[in-house]
């Protein structure tokens, strides 16, 4: 059994390490690379509105680091945000916020849908929510809140792209992935990573169709199914132990 660990470099290690004593080969193939966008006048204007914001949604550890860096650049004291409630998309993001002394709510399912179910966002008096995010991310969640009449402060702090190293590594792997008789599982944690995977496979459709996909959350699972992708298994969490338990179960029943 082969697992393609497609998490960004800074988040891949814990998933790789948990399989170290198992008969499962883990190949790190990051499909997303996160790079900060420059601090700008538009961001400075958004930061000045944060004190009137009730909730800040933070979607990744990178968003925490860049967001805090630019908060300091805006000369805004954390004390002015004392009444703000924070939402982290998952455990890793919550831990990074904790490093800055911030306690955050975390959804049971680490997706936009999971966050929308949090009681904080069910508050009928909610007026304004800020998003610390990457370019192109969390559109569904922001649109859902806007439809409820909530004003969105849209902090685009970084961009996501497919690393050049992944393109080169996939070219080296492609012949093996085409010919192996072992089951190949691919971790797909976002729509952006899925689009990058499809781009890598555009000249190797047989690889796209033969792999099994571990998808995070219902909406991402449905996206693949609507594209006639078979072999899709839905994850409720990116917790490495949960993924390990799932794959060991599959290996035992293969």
46-100 pLDDT tens trace: 999 998 999 999 998 999 999 999 999 999 999 899 999 999 988 889 999 999 9
Q: What is the mean pLDDT of residues 106-119?
A: 85
**β 151-161/33-36 pair status:** antiparallel
Under the banding of pLDDT at 50, 70 and 90, the label for residue 253 is low
Domain identity same for 153 and 170: no
Q: Are 86 and 105 in contact (CB under 8 A)?
A: yes
CATH code: domain of residue 22: 3.40.50.10090
Under the banding of pLDDT at 50, 70 and 90, the label for residue 109 is confident
Strand order from edge to edge, sheet including 104-105: 33-36, 151-161, 128-134, 55-58, 85-88, 104-105
The total domain count for the chain is 2
Q: For residue 248, what is the enclosing H or E element?
A: helix 240-253
Domain of 196, in residue numbers: 2-32+163-253
State whether the Cα torsion 110-111-116-120 is positive or negative: positive
254 has a pLDDT exceeding 50: no
Neighbours of 227 (CB within 10 A): 11
Quote the mean pLDDT of the chain.
91
Total-model pTM: 0.78
Of residues 82 and 110, more confidence is placed in 82
Domain identity same for 13 and 28: yes
Domain termination residue (choose one: 160, 181, 211): 160
158 has a pLDDT exceeding 60: yes
Give 250: exposed, middle or buried? Use CB within 10 Å, 0-12, 13-18, 19+. Answer: middle
Q: What is the mean pLDDT of residues 124-133?
A: 91
């Amino acid at each position: 059994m082969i697992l393609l660990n497609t998490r960004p470099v800074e988040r891949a290690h814990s998933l790789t390490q948990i399989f170290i004593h198992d008969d499962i080969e883990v190949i790190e193939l990051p499909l997303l690379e996160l790079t900060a966008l420059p601090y700008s006048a538009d961001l400075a204007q958004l930061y000045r509105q944060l004190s009137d914001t009730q909730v800040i949604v933070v979607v990744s550890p990178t968003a925490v680091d860049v967001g805090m860096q630019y908060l300091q650049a805006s000369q805004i004291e954390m004390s002015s945000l004392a009444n703000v409630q924070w939402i982290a998309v998952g455990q890793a993001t919550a831990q990074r916020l904790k490093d800055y002394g911030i306690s955050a709510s975390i959804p049971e399912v680490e997706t936009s849908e999971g966050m929308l179910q949090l009681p904080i966002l069910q508050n009928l008096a909610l007026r304004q929510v800020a998003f610390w995010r990457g370019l192109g991310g969390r559109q569904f969640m922001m649109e859902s809140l806007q439809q409820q009449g909530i004003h969105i402060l849209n902090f685009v702090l970084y961009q996501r792209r497919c690393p050049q190293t992944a393109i080169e590594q996939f070219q080296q792997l492609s012949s093996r992935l085409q010919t192996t008789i072992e089951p190949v599982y691919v971790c797909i944690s976002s729509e952006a990573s899925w689009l990058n995977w499809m781009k890598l496979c555009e000249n190797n459709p047989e690889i796209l169709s033969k792999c099994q996909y571990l998808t995070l959350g219902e909406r991402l699972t449905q996206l693949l199914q609507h594209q006639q992708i078979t072999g899709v298994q839905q994850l409720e969490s990116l917790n490495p132990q949960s993924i390990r338990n799932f794959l060991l179960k599959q290996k035992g029943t293969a």
